Amino acid sequence: MDVVIIGSGNVAHHLALALTKINQPALQIFARNERDLKAIAQAAAIPYSTFELKKADLYLICVSDRSIQAASEWITDPDALVAHTSGSMPMESLKGPYRKACFYPLQTFSKKKELDFKSIPIFLECEFNKDYEALTSLAKALSNSVESADYEKRKYIHLTAVFACNFVNHLYARAKEISDSQNLSFDYFRPLMEETLEKTRYLDPKQAQTGPAVRNDTRVLQLHEAILQTPQQRKLYQTLNESIEEMYRPKKD
Considering only residues 194 to 253 of the shown chain, the ones binding its own copies according to CB under 8 A are 194-200, 202-206, 208-215, 217, 219-220, 223-224, 227-228, 232, 235-237, 239-240, 242-244, 246-247
- Please, what is the minimum distance in Å from the beta carbon of residue 225 to its own copies? 10
Among 121, 134, 141, 148, binds its own copies (CB under 8 A): 121
Among 42, 50, 110, 137, binds its own copies (CB under 8 A): 110
Regarding 165 and contact with its own copies (CB under 8 A), the answer is yes
Q: Based on CB atoms, which residue is closest to its own copies, 42 or 169?
A: 169
Q: Based on CB atoms, which residue is closest to its own copies, 79 or 242?
A: 242
Q: Based on CB atoms, which residue is closest to its own copies, 42 or 110?
A: 110
User: Do residues 84 and 65 make contact, with C-beta atoms less than 8 angstroms apart?
Assistant: no
Among 106, 124, 135, 146, binds its own copies (CB under 8 A): 106
In the region spanning residues 172 to 191, those forming contacts with its own copies, defined by CB under 8 A, are 172-179, 181-182, 184, 186, 188-191
Separation of alpha carbons 75 and 60, rounded Å: 11
Separation of alpha carbons 58 and 135, rounded Å: 9
Name residue 161's amino acid.
A
- Please, what is the minimum distance in Å from the beta carbon of residue 152 to its own copies? 9
Q: Based on CB atoms, which residue is closest to its own copies, 21 or 199?
A: 199
In the region spanning residues 79 to 98, those forming contacts with its own copies, defined by CB under 8 A, are 88
Stretch that binds its own copies, among 14-22, 70-78, 128-136, 161-169 (CB under 8 A): 161-169
- Please, what is the minimum distance in Å from the beta carbon of residue 64 to its own copies? 7
In the region spanning residues 9 to 68, those forming contacts with its own copies, defined by CB under 8 A, are 64-66
- Please, what is the minimum distance in Å from the beta carbon of residue 136 to its own copies? 16
Q: Which of 92, 119, 82 is nearest to 7 (CA)?
A: 82
Instruction: Kindly state the number of chain residues that form the binding site for its own copies, as judged by CB under 8 A.
Output: 91
